[in-house]
Amino acid sequence: MQSISRRGFLKKSMLTTAGVSAATVMLQTPSSKILGANDRLRVGVIGIRGKGGQHMSEFHKMENVDVVALCDIDEAVLGERVHSLEEDGVKVKAYTDFRDLLDNDDIDAVSIATPNHSHSLIAIMAILAGKDVYVEKPVSQVVWEGRRLVDIAKKYNKIVQSGTQNRSDVGLRGALEYLREGHLGKILWAHGLWYKERQPIGNANGPQPIPETIDYNLWTGPAPLVPLMRERLHYDWHWNWDTGNGDMGNLGVHQIDDCRFLMDQKGLPRRLVSFGERFVWDDDGETPNVQFSVFDTDPAPIFIEIRNLPAKAGVRAMDHLRGVRMGNIIQCEDGFFAGGRGGGWFYDNDRKKIKQFPGDGGGEHHANFIQAVRERDPQILHAPIEEGHYSSAFCHMANTSYRLGKYMDIEQIKAQYTHDQALETIDRIRDHLLANNVDLSKTPIKSGPWLEIDTKKEMFKGEMSFEANMFIRRNDREPFVVPAKT
């Protein structure tokens, strides 16, 4: 395993943290000129177990793109991926510490598919080391660091794509044009839903041993270094607040992003509210497995509904809404769109099919990133980092409302809402919980307050803003600190 000196990078990051000028950092930049289609681009992939393995394959199959480096804090995962490329005749440099990979000036761009809590930090450090970046969704763990990432990308003229690939789906891109052309009149509301069955993650009953192949300090990064209190380190970090954002920030972020994309929505919402709970399961996860959030925004409100429980107790099948299990409904005056990744249909209000936009799952998203890197043109990115930041911030702010919630019964919760679509959804959620044998007379539900947002400052304002703003920024653990100044 290759291990190169970290001196250069550490020196660089200390300088930049202390406020060194853009020009100084740009001296380190390996790729700042327009590249032709035949110029080879050298890519490194950081975090390669699940999604990162797919990043590796996407880049590997592209013309004139070389995967030259892989990084993972788990040597078992790293060894397996290096071996699979070797079998394909490709020799890569292997790193366990992303700072060592970023020190390698032979790398033009990196893609990041580590857990959520290290996305912004690694992306920012990559930009400061002169790389272009593809970073998975959500692009941040808290709102503040997402804004830092956007600002730093702009300041250093780097190409940064958010891993919200549905924006590259040809079906959704076609649907967007159809909506823009106004065939169905004004948009009235958007409802994103993600009904995906999951299982409880178990009860560890105390600190768990970390496998010898894993550097737990690096894995933890900016989060508090605490003993592992669940059975599995990998993947299940989604369900603990220090490292994940629940299914709201996992799959809900795609739904929010799709709704925002299809409605041409810009910036943060004016206000939002969220309720939910981790129903039925008794396990080590902290995040809700049923959650509903409402965003008051232009041109129309967005409703996001997440469910991990089946249609009823004892089955695996999931419910659907107008035929959608994982996707979006965009309701207009004269009909609606129902679909998501992979495209969808427009219907009239009698549910008669009008027009189909078949999709491709956003398979060209990595290629779109590479094209923008070659042309050094962030304008052609399908998912520019600022859009990724907003969609991620929607999730974090909804989770903030939820986390500040009080326990209420369904009727008390309904009293907080006025929109018919919200009231109808709450009734469906009540029926869904009853079908899963949740005794609502004994199970209060955590329901957050409406929170107002200062959309320019990207902070909460008004009632409960003091408490809510505690969630905007996190105390990063040294030395894994997102720089406040560059």
Ligand X SMILES: NC(=O)c1ccc[n+]([C@@H]2O[C@H](COP(=O)([O-])OP(=O)(O)OC[C@H]3O[C@@H](n4cnc5c(N)ncnc54)[C@H](O)[C@@H]3O)[C@@H](O)[C@H]2O)c1
**Beta carbon nearer to ligand X, 16 or 168:** 168
CB of 380 to ligand X, least distance (A): 20
- Cα distance between residue 106 and residue 327, in whole Å: 40
**Beta carbon nearer to ligand X, 372 or 426:** 372
CB of 239 to ligand X, least distance (A): 12
**Beta carbon nearer to ligand X, 390 or 417:** 390
128: which residues sit within 8 A by CB, 6+ positions away? 12, 13, 16, 25, 152, 156, 483, 486
CB of 459 to ligand X, least distance (A): 25
CB of 66 to ligand X, least distance (A): 20
**The residue to which tokens 């018919």 are assigned:** 420
Tell me the torsion sign for CA atoms 245, 436, 422, 258: positive
**Beta carbon nearer to ligand X, 96 or 425:** 96
CB of 334 to ligand X, least distance (A): 32
**Beta carbon nearer to ligand X, 312 or 477:** 477
Question: Are 128 and 16 in contact, with CB atoms under 8 Å apart?
Answer: yes
CB of 171 to ligand X, least distance (A): 16
Classify strands 93-95 and 109-112 as parallel, antiparallel or unpaired: unpaired
CB of 80 to ligand X, least distance (A): 10
Per the DSSP assignment, residues forming a β-bridge with 273 are 294
CB of 111 to ligand X, least distance (A): 10
Question: Are 402 and 274 in contact, with CB atoms under 8 Å apart?
Answer: yes
**Beta carbon nearer to ligand X, 81 or 432:** 81
CB of 371 to ligand X, least distance (A): 19
Question: What is the number of the residue whose Cβ is closest to ligand X?
Answer: 50
**Beta carbon nearer to ligand X, 114 or 469:** 114
**Beta carbon nearer to ligand X, 118 or 331:** 118
The amino acid sitting at 134 is Y
CB of 365 to ligand X, least distance (A): 8
Q: How many CB atoms lie within 10 A of CB 242?
A: 15
**Beta carbon nearer to ligand X, 118 or 368:** 118
Per the DSSP assignment, residues forming a β-bridge with 9 are none
**Beta carbon nearer to ligand X, 58 or 74:** 74
Give Cα 84 distance to the centre of its chain.
27
CB of 392 to ligand X, least distance (A): 10
CB of 391 to ligand X, least distance (A): 12
**Beta carbon nearer to ligand X, 82 or 113:** 113
At residue 236, what are phi and psi to the nearest 5 degrees? -70, -5
- Cα distance between residue 130 and residue 32, in whole Å: 9
Degrees, nearest 5: CA angle 376-380-384: 95
CB of 99 to ligand X, least distance (A): 9
**Beta carbon nearer to ligand X, 126 or 290:** 126
**Beta carbon nearer to ligand X, 130 or 388:** 388
Binding site for ligand X (CB under 6 A): 46-47, 49-52, 71-74, 77, 98, 113-116, 118, 136-137, 163, 165, 218-219, 221, 234-235, 250
